[in-house]
Structure 1
Amino acid sequence: MPLIFRIIALRFLLILSVAVTAALPANADGPAPVFDFRQVDFQDRGDVTMKGDWLFRYGELLSPVEAYAAYESGNMDVVDVPSPWSQHVPEAKENRLLKGYGSYVVRMLLPEAGEDPLVLVAPRIKDAYEIYWIPMNAPDEAVRIAAEGTMTGKLVASQGHQAHGLARGSDGLLLINVRSEMTVRQGIVRALKVYESSHYQASLQMERLFEGALMGFMLLVAVLNLCLYIFHRKDHATLVLTLAGLAILIRSVCVGGSIETVFGPEWRPFRLRLEYANAFFLLWTAVLLNQTLLWERIRHWRMITIVGGLCAIGVAYSLIAPLPYVTMAARTIQWAGFAAILMILIGCCLAVYRKVPNAIPFLLGWLTMLTAAVYDVVTTLYTGHMVNTLDVMFAIGIMAYSVTVGRRVIQAINRAEFLEEERALLQKLHQDAVDTARHDHLTGLLNRQAFDDEMAHAWLQREKEDGQLSLVLFDIDHFKGINDTHGHPIGDKVLKSVAALLKETRLRKSDRICRYGGEEFALILPGTRGKDAVKIAERLRQSIAGHITECSPDLSLIITCSFGVASASAKGPSEPALLIEEADAALYQAKATGRNRVERYGMPPQADISAKTA
């Protein structure tokens, strides 16, 4: 903030010095206005502003001879330049906007010495003009040194910031004929300046460099905030900052005259309409920006809607109304801007009272912008220079706010990533807990609880598809004897060995192997007929019977299992518990008929089948 105030103070001193300089030329040769620059060191000072009294006549275009005669006779009004001629021309009902022509005349005395030629710079004369140099005592030798726009016929507007050569050591009259139709501020509304050409080139380059840098920064700010909004749409301040950056960018293009420079002077009406429409949009954006910056959301929707509606009316008026009437809205925009800033300041003060974070810096920033707005109006009125300190302050504010919001968005993104990592970790821990609860800690197979869940799911799926479901129950033969003879640790190794063998067995993804309890295991086979389940069980039986379990360096065991198979179809059983009972009955039958065998519920024992086959 101190840097901003220093810039404003330096700009104020510069304007004050220009105002003092403008008072140097004196009306030396009588009552007629004279700018005497003979003692001015242009090489040291660079430029002198032609602000002061001029001779003026409204309603006609004077020829050089007529202008010379009017100057000699004093038959012209003395007016202050720069100023629109509406300030010193009586209003006319038939020409309320005072469209037409006017002629300005002043005497100039130019110095002789100097390495570089002098140039006369016209920042903006509305809407078209021509400039004559009339040597004193030789009006017939007058020279037209500039012609911008069209003085008759269809209006083509003049280009701004044009430089026209002046001869050193000259004493003569400067005649400027002006045509005004397009805007409400007619005539010479910005002070002309006399430069040494090298100083003018340097000044012009610096001005263009500053304008280009401002437009580049605003484009960068808009793009960066748009990217932030794309990546984090919860903070709407980034979107509003994008709109504000684009609005400042458009204003810089309009005020700098880039549209006319690139596309030609015939685009000036479009540029003026765009400038005024963009001003209304910028006011709404400023109010909306303060809401999203302070409260991180749009808190007062009704106020935003009302302001947006009024600004929309202003935008429509700027695009549709006759152009002179559009330019009459300049004072309205100024008052609307003051009202918007006051509204924003009230919101900031309320935020400070409620101890909202960063409310004080925002309040100081908007106070700075209000100061810049007042400074622009005052200096423009009293010096004739069009200053845009508010634009610069607003652009600086947008950049500062972008940094603040960018940090806020990055913190939010980091917080969201941290929360996402925490959520993923919690999900993993939850899944691990679920898996632990569903798996047997000794064998790693699904446990009895998981078996119940999987069995219920398979049963519902069978009913839904009206398909087949088979269940295989099997246990290790003589397992109690292994525990009694070799101890429980050896029994645990046997269980782990069988489980490892079962895990390596090729089964479908839908099949489930579970530890049913103790030395007993279960195999759920969805969509499998009974005879196919018997084949699968027989393959498992053979695999286990052919496997040697290494229990210790000096103990190896060959174990066998008995299998019971049961199947559910449309004929029955009617519920999962009955299917389990049938599989258990088949397992009991396998044990009763000699173990190490597969028996199917409801079918003759395998031995009987073998005998019949033989």
Structure 2
Amino acid sequence: MIRLLLVLMLALNSLQAMAAGAPDGLSVKLDRASHEIDISRHLAFYEDPTSNLNIYQIKRRWPEIGSTAIPPKAYNFGFTDSTYWFHTRVENVSSPNDRWVIEGLYPIIDEMELFVVRATGPIERQIAGDSVPFHRRAKDHHNINFDLTLRQGESVDLYFRVKTSGAIQMRTKLWSLDSFSHADHQERFVLGLFYGLLVAMLIFSFLIFLSIRDTNYLWYSGYILNYGILQSSLNGLSFEHLWPDSPWWNNRAVAVLIASGMFFVLGFSRSFLALKTNAPILNRTFLAMMGVFALAAVAPMVSPSYAPVIRFNSFFAVLAATLVMFAGGVCLYRNFRPARFFMLAWTALLSGMLLYLFKTFGVLPANVVTEYAIQIGSAFEVILLSIALADRLRHMTQETQRIQSEMNTALESRVAERTAELESANRQLEMLSSTDGLTGVFNRRYFDKHLRKELVRCRRRGSLALILLDVDHFKAFNDNLGHQAGDSCLRKLADKLTNLVRRETDIVCRYGGEEFAIVLPYTDAAGAIQVANQIREGVESDLWFEWEGEPRSVTVSIGVAVVGSGLAVEPDEVVSVADEALYTSKAEGRNRVTARDVSGRSASPAAVKPPLAAE
């Protein structure tokens, strides 16, 4: 009987413990003085590595699996893939308030679910987080929040299910509705001052850039803009005001903005500290890190898994912040004057960033100082950094004036010399732009320009002839002997044409491929045909050359177009007539001359050579 009584007493105690759901030290009691309660240290927790447990399993097994120790501070588990459950019991002992708000002070948790278990009735469920649409929140507030109705004398069990790809931090408060509204009003006033300062500095810096075109101010403007959006994302304000209907982007915005923000930080620091001159090795390191962050800014939007990306970006942000501080110290050691204010400014901000990132990794506890360390530091940073930019600008202006004064005398003496060199270079450039690189004769660009000019002159006085010639069987020549032999053939042909066409007014051009064009001003049909036959005969008789021990001969087919004096024609028309004459020569057996005037009539009988073998 004694044993039976002992068993019944143990069972009764177990039932009481299950009914209570939490030790007295973890429960929350509300009285008339209760308006704002930090319930972070009143939470028991359980880690679910599989993420498979539901609220009913958790509720049934909580007395066995839930922690019992009172936490010394708010839970901060850092980055984890596990799902965490938290529990506390809230009892309204004597408070007349029956409407309460539960606020999570870490707004970038992906999903936080609240399950309210009452003595009677179904389990109530609410969900919020930065990957949950904003309208699902109980209040339109930048922090995660839930409604809780709790009448005097009533008690409830609260279960929180937290799953996120970032860090799990459970700084949580329980507010009466009126106190929550009042605190929100005060917080928004302070944040308004902070973001107002950032906006003012952004506008000021960008206007200075537009005025003096100093890229340091452009980098700084980009940094302030990116930093402001990052901070508003960390505070939950971006989700509330900028993209409330885009939880997918909101869940990735912090990782993207960390990477892009560090890109601008590195770019600004590299430019401001003149690392290219003061520290070339660090300059290359900064460029490499900027490349890493440029890719890291894209990674969260294309990676199927967000958790590794945010961890990678946060880790490299710590490295980059340390690198910036080190670079500033090096430049300060080397007596680079602008580095003084730079180090003062960035010491404030980067210290805050390091505190926040170490808090994210769970190295430091989550509290008011670490949570808002960046805002505290940046308030001083933007002012000091603006002073640093102004000091650097003044220093650079003085240096520029000194250098300019020293260079004025030397510059005047070198103007004439440099002008002469420039004119010579322009002449050489013009010659190079008009010359064919392979053959050394004029190119197609020069031909088009010269032909148009000569046709204008032809309208007033004198006739003009255009010769187009094409190397016979050049494709077979190229295919059989190779492109080097073909190039050698074209160079020898160009030299031969230059020797045969001797008048100063005549020009030889490479028209394209194996085609050459010769413009003969003041030349009628008879003269043009005579020159064409001399070219054909000269090429056939003289253009023999040895290639790899074998003699090779070359012949050409020629088309001639003649423009009479006073005739107004376009260059394309003349080229078309010459081209038709050329193809007639090729069709009739090659190694021939065919001449036509621009009206399409045969200019005069052309010298004919017996046909060669077909291609």
Deviates more, 1:121-130 or 1:279-288: 121-130
Q: CA deviation at 1:270?
A: 0.8
Q: Check conservation: 2:194, 2:375, Cα contact below 8 A.
A: no
- Name the counterpart of 1:175: 158
Amino acid at match of 1:209: F
Q: Give the CA RMSD over aligned residues.
A: 4.3
Residue 229 (1) aligns with residue 221 (2) = no
- Partner secondary structure for residue 329 of structure 1: helix
Residue 315 (1) aligns with residue 260 (2) = no
- Name the counterpart of 2:521: none
CA distance in 2, matches of 1:134, 1:185: 28
- Name the counterpart of 1:401: 385
- Name the counterpart of 1:287: 266
How many residue pairs match? The answer is: 368
- Name the counterpart of 1:336: 316
CA distance in 1, matches of 2:341, 2:123: 58
CA distance in 2, matches of 1:349, 1:148: 44
Residue 184 (1) aligns with residue 165 (2) = yes
- Structure of higher CA gyration radius: 1
Q: Check conservation: 2:110, 2:251, Cα contact below 8 A.
A: no
Residue 41 (1) aligns with residue 33 (2) = yes
Matches within 5 A, 1:108-507: 108-113=90-95, 117-123=99-105, 124=107, 126-135=109-118, 138=119, 140-142=120-122, 144=124, 146-148=126-128, 159=137, 160-176=143-159, 178=161, 180=163, 183-185=164-166, 189-233=169-213, 235-262=214-241, 265-295=244-274, 300=280, 301-322=283-304, 325-377=305-357, 379=359, 381=362, 383-385=365-367, 387-394=371-378, 396-406=380-390, 409=393
- Partner secondary structure for residue 336 of structure 2: coil
Q: CA deviation at 1:126?
A: 4.5
CA distance in 2, matches of 1:205, 1:350: 45
Q: CA deviation at 1:411?
A: 8.5
Give the TM-score of the pair, scaled to structure 1.
0.51
CA distance in 1, matches of 2:160, 2:193: 36
Q: Check conservation: 1:237, 1:292, Cα contact below 8 A.
A: yes
Relative to structure 1, is the Cα distance of residues 122 and 392 closer, same or farther in structure 2, using a 3 angstrom cutoff?
same
- Name the counterpart of 2:487: none
Q: Check conservation: 2:349, 2:378, Cα contact below 8 A.
A: yes
Matches within 5 A, 1:45-84: 46-56=36-46, 58-63=51-56, 69-71=60-62, 74-78=63-67, 82-83=75-76
Q: CA deviation at 1:412?
A: 7.2
Give the TM-score of the pair, scaled to structure 2.
0.51
Amino acid at match of 1:272: N
Amino acid at match of 1:34: L
Q: Check conservation: 1:119, 1:197, Cα contact below 8 A.
A: yes
Query: Deviations 1:558-614 (Å, cap 9, x if unpaired)?
Result: xxxxxxxxxxxxxxxxxxxxxxxxxxxxxxxxxxxxxxxxxxxxxxxxxxxxxxxxx
Structure 2 residues not aligned, in runs of 5+: 1-18, 138-142, 405-615
CA distance in 2, matches of 1:264, 1:310: 27
Q: CA deviation at 1:378?
A: 5.2
Matches within 5 A, 1:552-591: none
CA distance in 1, matches of 2:284, 2:166: 36
Q: CA deviation at 1:351?
A: 2.1
Relative to structure 1, is the Cα distance of residues 68 and 236 closer, same or farther in structure 2, using a 3 angstrom cutoff?
closer
- Partner secondary structure for residue 67 of structure 2: strand
Amino acid at match of 2:248: P
Q: How much identity, in percent, do the aligned residues show?
A: 12
Q: Check conservation: 2:99, 2:147, Cα contact below 8 A.
A: no
Relative to structure 1, is the Cα distance of residues 253 and 143 closer, same or farther in structure 2, using a 3 angstrom cutoff?
same
Q: CA deviation at 1:267?
A: 0.8
- Partner secondary structure for residue 42 of structure 1: coil
Query: Deviations 1:156-192 (Å, cap 9, x if unpaired)?
Result: 5764432413425345343336374xx4248x63322
CA distance in 1, matches of 2:245, 2:255: 18
